[in-house]
Structure 1
Amino acid sequence: MDMLNDPALEVFRDEVRAFLDAALPDDLRRAAARATSVFIDPAVSLPWQRILNARGWAAPDWPAEFGGPGWDEMQRYLFAAECARAGAPNLAPMGLKMVAPVIMHYGSAEQRAHYLPRILSGADYWCQGFSEPGAGSDLASLQLRATPDGSDYVLNGSKIWTTHAHFANRMFALVRTSNDGKPQAGISFLLLDMATPGISVEPIRTLAGDHELNQVFFDDVRVPQANRLGAENAGWSVAKHLLTFERGGKYAPALIGRLERLRGQAGIDPVLRARLDREAIGLTALQALELKAMRGLGGSAALYASVLKVLGTETAQRIDVLACEIAGYSAWADADGQAPADVAVAVPRYLNDRAASIYAGSNEIQRDLIARHMLG
């Protein structure tokens, strides 16, 4: 943890805090506090993204050559921690953190020039077309067919659990372009315009009552082959590169902030406080592991991503349980006559986060990867 105590980083932290104090609007802060999911409505996230983009900070992980700030690992980590401390809205990850890195890595010069500025500005809002009704954790069994026809592919099939597809104007999708050989060998990676004729979106309501997920249907949808990322039938490699960014992440900063808010609430009995303290110790360990992973110490990025995904999502679920119990003890309101945000959204957040150990590759699959490739 000494990595966080560099004097140069203290100067950077002060700069970020001053910016957040001055630039983060109170209405966006309040809306973020009452969000029940990490995927915040674009009516809240996009205004904040535009503010950050004007400062050059919308994409902390991007290299300067593509429009990012060119920060090192510790600066990025501190920025995430300060945003969590300030209560800033999460930005939608599908564009900035998921498809953008693979466009940088696999995209042509023309694809980078077209898509990356639009992702930064928020002009393009993306959704992820991976899972299907018969292909979830076993993603290689996907069947959304893309049949070549002239310079296009013609798509037929569906995707499911598609977060924010009802908001998105773009989708990155895995499609079946061949049935020869291993299932992984016949998959391609496409970039789609959601306004293309033949695409329809149907809502899926969650247990929390949210409309966050959707099923997307494709009926003779024509997509230019020029929208493919990487070679035909090589989409599995592109997807594995993307999943490293989806699974890995900075779980600890947001969870530490949330835990501190819960610990500060009155009326919690000693047993609950002891359980909160236990989670605080675990979060210190998780933060140390995240810092270690950023420095590339002791393992591959993909395997660290699996470890952090398991630890981060399951810690969040345990904190959800504690928040619900604390909500049961809390019979007081804030200055506006409402329950504190973490209490008011405790149950919806608990319900929403039940999926966290399933999406981005179930935690059971991640444990299998860790056992086979890290533990031998």
Structure 2
Amino acid sequence: MPTIIRFHQLGGPEVLRFEEVAPQEPANGEVRLRVQAAGLNRAEALFYRGQYLEKAKLPSRIGYEVAGVVAAVGEGVDSGWIGKKVATIPAFGMNQYGTLGEQAVVPAFALTEYPANLTPEQAAAAWMQYLTAYGALVFYGKVSAGDFVSIPAASSSVGLAAIQIVRDAGATAIAVTRTSAKKDELIALGAHQVIVSGEEDYTARMQEITGGKGTRLIFDPVAGPYVETLATGAAQDSILFIYGGLSMQPTPFPLMQSFRTGLSVRAYTLREITTKPERLAVAKKYVFDRLADGRFVPKIAKTFAYKDTVEAYRYLESNEQVGKVVIRVS
């Protein structure tokens, strides 16, 4: 029988368990995948720790992103999907549709075919990151040539996707990272400039890089007190997108800087794209086309065997990686 990953209590990666299950039959509007690879996300670590927006209903499956082959379809789903190589878009809750395991049942609307030039590992490492960055920077932010864009936590998979999106638009990607350990790699991966926030004066460096203009878009998953510092480097009529709360600290509103520059501070989640079919269709094509022609290339930090899933999540939580952590399932 196939195995899946599930947890019965909250805690660290050690709560994850391999469990044998019978093949699950997809219901109306669903498909069953034979999973080949899985991409890991920080949201999943928060989920099994009980710190995510969606609270786990125990016992719970886990996982948003997998690539695999459609093995069966439920009522109302085109049988032409069977046998196709697909990836999942994180357009569902993990309580209902956790994906990590040898099989996964997901809603058909969350499927996407991926370009033939991608491996299953790359396909499982693409959609969360590029769609998340697309929504803030392209759909809302209208990033364009001449813009300066500040990207904190730039070595994350979403941060690297943001760098590629900014470059593709002809704008300037300014990576922000805490230590100099990842600086050279960030430059190699496309950042035009890198600010080492733990070692440099962010405001002074931003003024130097932008010629005193400041950055029009800020794309931040950390939140917390550093938001006030990010605001000091903002341009007139700029937008600070906060798409996560990794600091786990209260986030002040930078009122005085907003008075000075007209800075807008906006919470943003991927659901703003995935729950709107017309938006999602445009976003999928945007990402697919750029994956297919090589403008976008997912960066895989490290690939783990399925049996080493717990160790893979430990590595994810170490913050050592640059790019996506991936599990090869079959």
TM-score by length of 2: 0.28
TM-score by length of 1: 0.26
Compare relative contact order (CA 8 Å, sep 6+) and give the higher one, 1 or 2: 2
Q: Which structure is higher in helix share?
A: 1
Quick check: which has more Rg, 1 or 2?
1
